[in-house]
Structure 1
Amino acid sequence: MPGIGQSGESPAPHPDSLGVIITMPPALAAELGSWRESFAGADDGIVPAHITLVSGRARSSWGEAAEHVRKVARQASPFTISLRGTGTFIPVSPVVFLNLEQGAGQCRELHKELLDGPVEHVLNFEFHPHLTMAHDLDAATMARAKAEMAGFEAELEVTSIGLYDYSQGGWALHEELTLGGEAQP
């Protein structure tokens, strides 16, 4: 697991860094990664394609917040997401994204349930489920991303959510949680 220290033990999670995301299946992640790299460039340190459910922190202890995330995952059911076409948050935020045609309601419900406990979402924007394709690039590249991805379509089955911790300079998977089940190693 990323973030393992030299002693072989994971560093303690930081209470001010807790994220919950939906990871893309490998083939779709590779395809989306190629597209994202074509917009931002190979040297831009592209974050793997994902759908953020929470970007936040623990209200009190990280362990208590993590247990809440586990409980939400155990009580949730797998669902389908359909990615169809593009949208943008411009001028509020310089983001071009893929729309969630199907599955947005389930993402909103998971977001709401995750925040109904010791987890806090720290972004200044209202939650809108999406998959970022281009972020904070020049206007021409943002327009190109929006146009080139407009016809994009894909479906994926969401069977788990990832619980992440920001440690040692980057987000690291703490555990993958099966929807309706137990944590995966």
Structure 2
Amino acid sequence: MGTVTLGVSIAVPEPYGSQLQELRAGFGDAAAHGIPTHVTLVPPTEVEADRLPAIRAHLVEVAAAFRSFRMRLGGTGTFRPVSPVVFVKIVDGAGGCNRLQSEVRDPDGPLSRDLAFPYHPHVTVAHGISEESMDLAFTTLAEYAAEWICEGFALYEQGSDGVWRKLREYPFGSGPSCVPAQAGSAADQAAGTAGAAGS
């Protein structure tokens, strides 16, 4: 049946999401327009497409038991020199992100995986570009601030064109329902949307 590349993230809502995406593109990050602005819960993970029903069911269960929490962004940070990344910091809500990602990556669940680095919730605004451009991103957004109430997360699929597309939204406290976001995606077609648990 083949494989799909999935990720699970908290979307940064509008108008902040588009603002940060355009700024990221302006810094010279060519991947910016293919990556919706987000806080990663599960990084890009290749899975067998027939695991989609179990993954969806797991995400529904996690979301149903979770509650909304406040997210506040403020200022910039960087993972350099370990990793060529500049990010906007999460100054309120990191605890909620940590709890959520640990439940999504439950060692006994279908999205269990090891991470290359310890989990550190953040919003990437520059990745893999010149040092000068990353310095510019770091200083330009040094006073950046935004806040919202996080009310759920979403499952994304990376297409063959490298673009990440939302498959499903999983609102907190929602019970067995979830919101389709990208009908007819490759992952949906491979797994069979009509019979997928939690679809």
Give, in whole Å, the separation in 2 of the partners of 1:84 and 1:175: 28
**Structure 1 residues 34 and 171 mapped into 2: Cα distance closer, same or farther (>3 Å)?**
closer
* Unaligned stretches of 5+ residues in structure 2: 181-199
**Contact in 2 for aligned 1:57/1:122 (Cα 8 Å):** no
Q: Give, in whole Å, the separation in 2 of the partners of 1:123 and 1:130.
A: 15
Could you say what the CA RMSD is over the residues aligned between the two structures, in angstroms?
A: 2.0
* Residue 125 (str. 1) matches residue 117 (str. 2): yes
Q: Deviations over 1:49-93 (max 9, x none)?
A: 111111224588222122111110111111111001111000110
Q: Which residue of 2 aligns with 1:24?
A: 12
* Distance (Å, rounded) in 1 between the aligned partners of 2:72 and 2:80: 23
Task: Determine if the alignment matches structure 1 residue 159 to structure 2 residue 147.
Answer: no
Amino acid at match of 1:177: Y
TM-score (norm 1): 0.84
| TM, length-normalised to structure 2 | 0.78
Which residue in 2 is equivalent to 1:141?
133
The one-letter amino acid of 2:178's match is A
Query: Segments of 4+ in structure 1 off by > 6 A?
Result: none
> Are 2:24 and 1:36 equivalent residues in the alignment?
yes
Aligned length: 171
Q: 1:30 to 1:171 in 2, by over 3 A?
A: closer
Matches of 1:38 and 1:142, distance apart in 2 = 11
Q: Is the 8 A contact 1:57 1:120 kept in 2?
A: no
Q: Which runs of 5+ in 1 are unaligned?
A: 1-11
Query: Contact conserved, 1:58 with 1:118, CA < 8 A, in 2?
Result: no
Contact 2:8 2:153 in 1 (8 A): yes
Q: Please point out which of 93, 99, 104 is paired with 1:114.
A: 104
Moved more, 65-74 or 28-37: 28-37
Deviation at 1:127, TM superposition (A): 1.2
Q: Is the 8 A contact 1:22 1:53 kept in 2?
A: yes
Percent of matched pairs sharing the same residue: 34
Cα pair 2:38 2:123 within 8 Å, conserved:
yes
Match of 2:67 among 77, 82, 96: 77
Alignment equivalent of 2:85, drawn from 77, 91, 95: 95
Tell me how far 1:17 sits from its aligned partner: 2.2
- Return the match for 2:58 from 29, 44, 68: 68
- SS at 1:97's partner residue? strand
